[in-house]
Structure 1
Amino acid sequence: MSDVQTPVREQAHQEPPPDRAGAVLRAVTQGRVTTSLLAVLMAFVLGALLVCLTDDRVAAAAPYFLRRPGDLVAAVGQAVGGAYLALFQGAVWAPRDTFAASIRPLTDSLMFATPLITAGLGVALAFRVGMFNIGARGQILVAAACAGWASSSLHLPVGVHVAVALAAGLAGGALWGGIAGLLKARTGAHEVIVTIMLNYVAFYLVSLLLRTPVLQVEGSANPRSRPADATAVLPPLFGDAHTTHAGFVLALLAVAGVWWLLDRSALGFRFRAVGLNPRAARVAGIDVERVYLVVMVLAGALAGLAGAGQVLGTVTTGFGVSIEAGIGFEAITVALLGRSRPLGVLLAGLLFGAFKAGGFAMQSMQAIPVDLVLVLQSLIVLFIAAPPLVRALFRIPAPARGQE
């Protein structure tokens, strides 16, 4: 008996130790974060190619490449370097006389990123439950209308007024998102169709309200709301010379709250269970229909925070129906790039906020169309939606099933 067990023990001792370093390297190179970073890198590379194709200096030097290759290389460097330097200076840092003036681009980026982060969280939260919240646009518009009415019609003390206006915006967004959740839970209506249609309803409803005494400024024929009272305006974070307001702090709190909800709470566990397999969750005793309703109410409230911030933070002289400014659809991109994770949504929102702020600098300093920023965003989404393409371009092996 002992003679039989001895070779087995020896064979067990001869097995090679696990390659922990290799496992860590594979986890890093094949993970979602690496794929997202490579997607952003590929978008910038293709963006540089587009800059070269549309630059006059590159076009003038290209025919003489065989005779004077240095001219073409210099022209490409000036075109691409100038474009991305302008993007950086417009989004992060621009040398000025004072430090406060130098960080003005960074504060502008934070201001643009604030509604993208909160609306992106709303879309990402629905994604985690297996629902596609395409209705962030309508939720933002309804929230803006509710916050705009509360900020201009109610006259309350400082502190109380801004809290009430924010609560009104959150309630408006939650109500509009809850309609889609209720229809999904009670009738099985597909949330994509419902939220798209609710976007149109919200757009024309707010357009109507902006032409009635409910929102329209007195004595004006333009569809524009009354200005918010000074007591309802979100205070600036870095002084009146900068556009970043307290809404950015609320966005950070929303990120922390969604992270805690998904990863540390019993409700978040039910969300993730329904997102993985609603049938198995129902067998386990989870009320799936109730989860659908609750998640859409929360998603609408997060998008509503974006709408309320637009009214109370960046527009204090009244707003029009263009207050949404495409944030609702960009929030879908932010949620995709962030892999529906709160921290990922935060980073993606900051990136896209920097794109918005830097795009105007590229246009003014380098005469590059601001549409190039939209091209960069679209390319990022393209590569994010096709991880096998990114892995094929960089020759990264596919991860094992269930590890991506």
Structure 2
Amino acid sequence: MSQAKVPVWVNVGLIPLLNILLAFLVSGLVFLAIGEDPIEAAGYLIYGAFGYDEGIGYTLYYATNLIFTGLAVSVAFKAGLFNIGGEGQAYIGGLGVGLVCLWFDSSLPLLVIAPLAIIGGALFGAAWAYIPAYLQARRGSHIVITTIMFNFIASSLMVYLMVNWLKAEGVMSPISRTFEESAWLPYLHDLFAPFGFEIGDSPLNLAFVLALLCCVFYWGLVWHTSWGYQLRTVGTNPTAAQYAGIDNAKVTIWVMLISGGLAGLVGVNEIMGVNHNLLLNFTAGYGFAGIAVALMGRNHPIGIVLAAMLFGALYQGGAELAFEIPTITPEIVVVIQGLVILFSGALENMFKGKIEGLFLRRAAA
């Protein structure tokens, strides 16, 4: 029996959907165990995420960060690299965005600051990813170990800079001064208001459009360029790639630069789009959640967008759920997220053999 006879939509759509449904089924058992109605809880969760325009805005705002980090993990994974440093790369990328805004917010208009901030975030994130990439390519250090350690180094570096150099005068908290409004990325509800579209206030801003453009960039790079062919070849069979004349070390470095640059764009959404100042811990675990988003999305931009929206819905709907039912704490919502990751990641092949066998038997018949 040939794997080619199994329809593509089975592995891309049906199997992930079954894994997610099983995760929610087990989550329902958790709600029953604590004495709550899982149907009622699901209603609050869905309504909080998609039931009104403000909730949708928050869902898409959370999804924006997850699209950036999901793409960052995915492009590295295509080359056979497991980049777990998205958290640190996003952190340092936010530093780049913040420095651009602090330096130019009083002298340049938004149309100039925005591209500079995007470039700054991407460059700082890429620069932070370069060192683990170089150590992997030229010194043989494993990319998983180095990227994990660089997350902690990035955190310590940010604390030092915020406390000693970038903290605003006259405040105790390690936070920079607020940017001038010329360095604020517009909210989508403000952009749509002049056209008669009334959208509830939410942090959703133009960074969401940037995230979608990055998906198009990813699709074009990976499947429609010679560079994409090289990175997919290295990820599939490094020995064959080297035999074909591809410089594996060079591919490793530039792929990690792209990965770090994508992760660094989280700062555009958080620093320039929402907080309007430079602060600590703005990444909030998005770098690690991006790993699950990439795996659930099958390393395809459309799948990554859908997976990011699912996790964004869990973030926003979970907050609504914890508000409406006090016995369901935020930790229970984290359990739901963990179950989704478990069944969509570690146990993703639970149904794969049986379902593929079913379709193969039907094709043979």
TM norm. shorter chain > 0.5: yes
Mapped contact 2:91–2:154 kept (Cα < 8 A): yes
What is the total number of aligned residue pairs between the two structures?
Answer: 346
Counterparts in 2 of 1:26 and 1:167: CA distance versus 1, 3 Å: closer
Match of 2:34 in 1: 54
Q: Which amino acid aligns with 1:124?
A: S
Distance 1:216 1:378 in 2: 36
Matched, 1:337 2:296: yes
Match of 1:239 in 2: 190
Distance 2:336 2:315 in 1: 11
Q: How large is the RMSD of aligned CA atoms in angstroms?
A: 2.1
Q: Could you tell me how far 1:344 is from its partner in structure 2?
A: 1.1
Distance 1:399 1:331 in 2: 33
Matched, 1:253 2:205: no
Matched, 1:178 2:110: no
Distance 2:132 2:122 in 1: 16
Distance 2:296 2:336 in 1: 13
Counterparts in 2 of 1:91 and 1:152: CA distance versus 1, 3 Å: same
2:267 to 259, 282, 307: 307
Distance 2:141 2:221 in 1: 26
Matched, 1:82 2:33: no
Decide which structure has the larger Cα Rg and report it. Answer: 1
1:150 to 100, 104, 114: 100
Q: Could you tell me how far 1:395 is from its partner in structure 2?
A: 9.4
Match of 2:334 in 1: 374
Q: Could you tell me how far 1:130 is from its partner in structure 2?
A: 0.4
Mapped contact 1:262–1:269 kept (Cα < 8 A): yes
Counterparts in 2 of 1:216 and 1:267: CA distance versus 1, 3 Å: same
Distance 2:352 2:299 in 1: 20
1:218 to 158, 165, 169: 169
**Pairs within 5 Å for 1:1-400:** 26-27=6-7, 30-55=10-35, 79-93=37-51, 102-154=52-104, 155-213=107-165, 215-239=166-190, 241-316=201-276, 318-367=277-326, 368-384=328-344, 385-391=346-352, 397=358
CA deviation profile, 1:147-203 (whole Å, cap 9, x unmatched): 112112323223111221221111110101111111111111110111011111100
What SS class does the counterpart of residue 272 from structure 1 fall into?
A: helix
CA deviation profile, 1:5-30 (whole Å, cap 9, x unmatched): xxxxxxxxxxxxxxxxxx99942674
Q: Could you tell me how far 1:334 is from its partner in structure 2?
A: 0.6
Q: Which amino acid aligns with 2:22?
A: M
What TM-score do the two structures reach when normalised by structure 1? 0.81
Q: Could you tell me how far 1:320 is from its partner in structure 2?
A: 2.6
What SS class does the counterpart of residue 324 from structure 1 fall into?
A: coil
Runs of at least 5 residues in structure 1 that lack an aligned partner in the other structure: 1-22, 57-78, 94-101
Q: Could you tell me how far 1:393 is from its partner in structure 2?
A: 8.5
Counterparts in 2 of 1:301 and 1:354: CA distance versus 1, 3 Å: same
CA deviation profile, 1:269-292 (whole Å, cap 9, x unmatched): 001000000110000011111100
Higher relative contact order (CA 8 A, sep 6+): 2
Mapped contact 2:207–2:268 kept (Cα < 8 A): no
Counterparts in 2 of 1:177 and 1:375: CA distance versus 1, 3 Å: same
What TM-score do the two structures reach when normalised by structure 2? 0.90
Q: Which amino acid aligns with 1:290?
A: K
Match of 1:7 in 2: none
Mapped contact 1:29–1:396 kept (Cα < 8 A): no
